[in-house]
Structure 1
Amino acid sequence: MKRINDKRNISMMMDLYELTMANGYFLGENTETKVAFDVFFRRNPDEGGFSIFAGLEQVIQYLEDMHFDSEDVEYLRSLNLFDEKFLDWLSNFRFTGDVYAFPEGSVIYPNEPIVTVVANIVEAQLVETELLTQINHQSLIATKARRVVRAAQGRAVSDFGARRAHNNDAAIYGARAAIIGGVSSTATVIAGQYFDIPVGGTMAHSWVMYYGDELTAFRKFAKIYPDNCILLVDTYDVLDSGIPNAIKVFNEMKEQGIKSKSFGIRIDSGDLAYLTKETRKMLDDAGFPDAKIVISNCLDENTINSILAQGGQVNAFGVGERLITSRSEPVFGAVYKLCAVEENGEMQPRIKVSETVEKITNPGLKEVYRIYNSEGRALADLIAKKGEEVDLSDSFRFVDPRKPWKVRSFENCTAKKMQKQVLKNGKRTEEAVSAKEIAVYVKEQLANEIWDEEQRFENPHYHYIDMTPAYYEMKMDMLAREDWA
């Protein structure tokens, strides 16, 4: 399958400080010293109860392909910031580290490591920006798409956002993320080509305007596309012109033996709740109860909820700018923080301490387990020290870091380890998973594992992020050190 980066090298997608630090480490430290960085985020967009992890496949591709061309090295040399030995080293650079991650499409929650990079200090420092760029963008759009799809209540949703996206990559990767989040198709043709995802689309207002009169335009379109005849009816007047002309064409097609299940109209302006109700009556009265009604125009989960609550008669939604830009919450906020450094052959924890409590990090290499009750519903996520045994065959005590004084335990529960190794010595460990397969994984989790209370839009239930006693005590011991004062 064709890939976006087959004809370009984006290895220089990094902030300058990554290179200045890498140069400093190269000159002054043992560059073989291993470190670990965690990628995590601090809050769900739109005050939601969860997020959707997306962008992992592009991270893996980037790390496998990462190298610096002669033009890259010459540009860096021109900045007069870097030692020649460091530039020579970059000329032969390849990422050789290990990466652990949640499966792409996982339902994720704040303050748990969705990706962990373990590599030598220089390599680990250089990859920060691209990891965050891909994960922040695609996770944001996938999460927004899931909200829109939930609001649609089983009706089809298509991504119409390319022309409002911030640039080409935002449109292409945004379409991929939207599919992961649950939309059924995209209008972005190149995304369909790259990611083997369904594409869809019919006509624009210019088609109708070109032919001068609506009926002629509709007839010409129906002749070319009889099996997918979705007519845009709001170029002039929906109820007085668009729908009557569409019905004339549908009757002509019906006389030719074309089945009405291929008929439909799209409305892109006006009072969509009112217009769809009136349109449904007109189509039904004309003998076309199977004709689909598609709407578009500045839709998101809130407008869709409102239209349906008013009795709007809609079969499918085309959602554009408010999805592809996540207009209501345009920042995901994942960060890349050092959590461990190799000392005497062992990985020792590191912690970031801040006056802002939310910015204090979870130190050390760790495991994340998703805890399930006997019915298979996810009760909480549990953070443990790397290598720590978590045995749920009996009652298992845990610590709620928000209320550490309470004695709590899991009873009759099972656990699933969330992180798995996706890169070993710089090479992927498993075959790539398609966007469509990832979308199925998302849907299955939300149907079978995640509580409905976490999925509601208003005041969603908080998903607990608990800790084993050993991990919690290690973190508290680090925070209690006198030299933080």
Structure 2
Amino acid sequence: MTIRTRAFERVEEVSALPIYRDRKAALLTDFYQLTMMYGYHQADGQDQRVVFDLFYRTNPCGNGYVIAAGLEQVVWYLHNLRFDDEDIAYLRSLGAFSDDFLEELRNFRFTGHLYAVPEGTVVFPNEPLLRFEGRVFELQLVESAVLSFVNHQSLIATKARRIVDAARANTAHPNAPVIEMGLRRAQNMDASVFGARAAMIGGCVGTSNVLAGQSFGMAVLGTQAHSWIQNFDSELEAFRAYAQTFPDNVVLLVDTYDVLRSGVPNAIALARELEAQGRKVHSIRIDSGDLAYFSKRARQMLDAAGYPDIGIIASSDLDEFTIRDLLIQGAKITSWGVGTHLITSQGCPALGGVYKLAAREREGELEPCIKVSENASKVTNPGKKQVLRFIVEGHASADLIALDDEVIDPTQPIELFDPVHTYKRKTIRNFTVEPLLTPVYQSGELVYELPTLTDIQSRVEDQLKLFSSEVLRPVNPHGYHVDLSQRLWNLKHDLLLAQRPAGVPST
């Protein structure tokens, strides 16, 4: 019998959202996960306890950090992870698995532990974002799906934040909003809907995607297409018809024919007509051409006509670099519509998160284990771990990846050292410690109440205030300190030495 805690009720609410409703989860996996599960089953090793970490190795887009996202989707997945009759029938048709294995799948439930970094947390390379503990049979299955969820949404949230920060560099309009408009360019439906959600986590104020708006309670925004203007005998007639249809949100697309000789003059003409009725034009939108030049000239024309409050929205294949350049050139843009480059994270299409074994059961005890590689960056950190953030005078000073049972005394100074260049050391005093990994599942029971999207957005803003502008800058950011505890470093070093073939000298 399932205990109906608030955490359980909240995930049931999430599962009922339109994008999740009636969706199946079990077969969202790579086939080799099932073949490995079958191998464990055949070897009678399916109940072996293991620990897996999900982390990434390199910040995307040249950024200095990542915004963690996707945990809601992970929880939905684990909550609804069941193999139904249709799933079992399909797997049986493959001819690869025995009937007793398929019956094991029919009874599948997630019974393990999950610790995770809450969505909206600022994180760094090699820090576990999720830590799974439990039966290898279960933890092998979930790898592909949870990587998909966390990799995608963390990537898009981070890209969105880069774009939002670029837009906020506008000193005349420091709160210039960014609208996510990528539906038609996203790779598929899920990428567009969950990408829109991640964009909101990153700081966008709304989306053009109606299904995303319905699913997650986002503001849905949109104006008109060039075809609307073309379908009337004149541009002014099209503007009038739109203003009559949407009297409280008159936004006019002014680049269908000629921005400065037609679009803006017609917008001004309509503004005068509406003013006589006690109404107003809210904004114009420019979707092509030299956005810096057109926005400056349009601003001059609108101001000269007595309409300094009419905003200027820009779209047209924007990204953080284009927005920054436009502002350097003095563009007079008050809000931004960003599509392709945001929803696809163009230029950096994947986060590259991985899911690696950190400990396995041996003789009834969990034993740390390590993956060795010729590439030093791919050598894993062994054991059950926690991530500790040191806060000094209200600012994040460093993160420490430590073994889960380590206790840090905040009354004593602590010396941190770079895990590769160990001569680089930093002493921290008068700090508080914030553990980043929080319990989500305990023995298969959900103990974490999923936050609302608004709560996650607030967490992002609070998190970013902890870090220096040098860490947050989008180009050549200062590297934030992420170190290993002495115990973890010693364990890793000992395991690496133990892996060296006999007779091979150390270097």
TM-score range with shorter-chain normalisation?
over 0.9
Deviation (angstroms), 1:193: 0.7
Taking the aligned partners of 2:462 and 2:402, their CA distance within structure 1 comes to 26
Distance 1:103 1:482 in 2: 35
Aligned pair partner of 1:411 in 404, 419, 429? 429
Counterpart residue identity of residue 348, structure 1: E
**1:51 matches 2:66:** yes
Question: C-alpha displacement at 1:405, in angstroms?
Answer: 3.5
- The match for 1:451 is 468
Q: Which residue of 2 aligns with 1:477?
A: 494
Deviation at 1:483, TM superposition (A): 4.4
Corresponding position of 1:205: 226
* Aligned residues of 2:239 and 2:267 also touching (Cα < 8 A): yes
Q: 1:328 aligns with which of 343, 347, 351?
A: 347
1:331 deviation in Å? 1.0
TM-score by length of 1: 0.97
Query: What per-residue deviation string (whole Å, max 9, x for no partner) do you get for residues 255-310 of structure 1?
Result: 0011x4x5210000000000000000011111110001001010000000011100
Give the structure 2 partner of residue 283 of structure 1: 302
Question: For 1:40, which of 55, 58, 61 is the aligned residue?
Answer: 55
2:368 corresponds in structure 1 to 349
Q: How far is 1:82 from its partner?
A: 1.1
Partner of 2:387: 368
**What is the aligned counterpart of 1:391 among 397, 404, 409?**
409
Match of 1:109 in 2: 124
Q: Which runs of 5+ in 2 are unaligned?
A: 1-12, 169-174
The one-letter code sitting in structure 1 at the alignment partner of 2:150 is: I
Aligned pair in 2 of structure 1 residues 33, 151: CA closer, same or farther (>3 Å)? same
Letter of the structure 2 residue corresponding to residue 390 of structure 1: I
In structure 2, the residue matched to 1:297 is 316
* 1:425 and 2:425 aligned: no
Q: 1:53-452 alignment to 2 at 5 Å?
A: 53-153=68-168, 154-258=175-279, 260=280, 263-373=282-392, 375-406=393-424, 408-446=426-464, 448-452=465-469
Q: Which residue of 1 aligns with 2:484?
A: 467
The 8 Å contact of residues 178 and 335 in structure 2, kept in 1 or not, is answered as: yes
Residue aligned with 1:4, SS: coil
Q: Is the 8 A contact 2:55 2:127 kept in 1?
A: yes
Query: Which runs of no fewer than 5 residues in structure 1 stay unpaired?
Result: none
1: CA distance between counterparts of 2:148 and 2:474?
26
What is the alpha-carbon distance in structure 1 between the residues aligned to residue 448 and residue 149 of structure 2? 20
Deviation at 1:31, TM superposition (A): 2.1
SS in 1 for 2:346: coil
Q: Tell me how far apart the structure 1 counterparts of residues 137 and 39 of structure 2 sit (CA, whole Å).
A: 9
Residue 437 of structure 1, CA deviation: 1.6
Matched residue, 2:5? none
Which residue identity is paired with 2:402?
A: A
Residues 203 and 412 of structure 1: CA distance in aligned 2, closer, same or farther (over 3 Å): same
RMSD of the TM alignment (CA)?
1.2
The Cα offsets for residues 300-336 of structure 1, whole Å up to 9 and x where unpaired, read as: 0000001110000001000000000000110100001
Secondary structure of the residue aligned to 1:317 is strand
- Give the aligned residue type for 1:418: L
Deviations 1:369-403 (A, max 9, x none): 01111x21111110111111111211123332122
Give distance in 1, aligned partners of 2:93 and 2:196: 38
Amino acid at match of 1:471: L
1:135-164 deviation digits (Å, cap 9, x = unpaired):
111011000000000000131000000000
Counterpart-to-counterpart distance in 2, 1:463 and 1:71 = 49
Q: 1:23 aligns with which of 35, 38, 41?
A: 38
The one-letter code sitting in structure 1 at the alignment partner of 2:137 is: V
- In 2: Cα distance, 1:253 partner to 1:384 partner: 64
- SS at structure 2 position matched to 1:81: coil
Displacement of 1:8 after TM fit?
Answer: 2.1
Give secondary structure in 2 for the equivalent of 1:227.
Answer: coil
Alignment partner of 2:412: what SS?
Answer: coil
Q: Secondary structure at the match of 1:323?
A: helix
**What stretches of structure 1 move > 3 A for 4+ residues in a row?**
405-408, 482-485
Contact map agreement 1:397 1:469 (CA 8 A) in 2: no
How far is the alpha carbon of 1:231 from its aligned partner? 0.3
CA distance in structure 2 between the aligned counterparts of 1:209 and 1:319, rounded to whole angstroms: 24
1:408 positional shift: 4.1
SS in 1 for 2:194: helix
d(CA) in 1 for partners of 2:499, 2:117 = 35
- TM-score by length of structure 2 reads 0.93
Offset, 1:98: 1.0
Q: May I ask how many residue pairs the two structures share in their alignment?
A: 481
Q: Secondary structure of the residue that 1:412 maps to in structure 2?
A: coil
**Letter aligned with residue 77 of structure 2:** Y
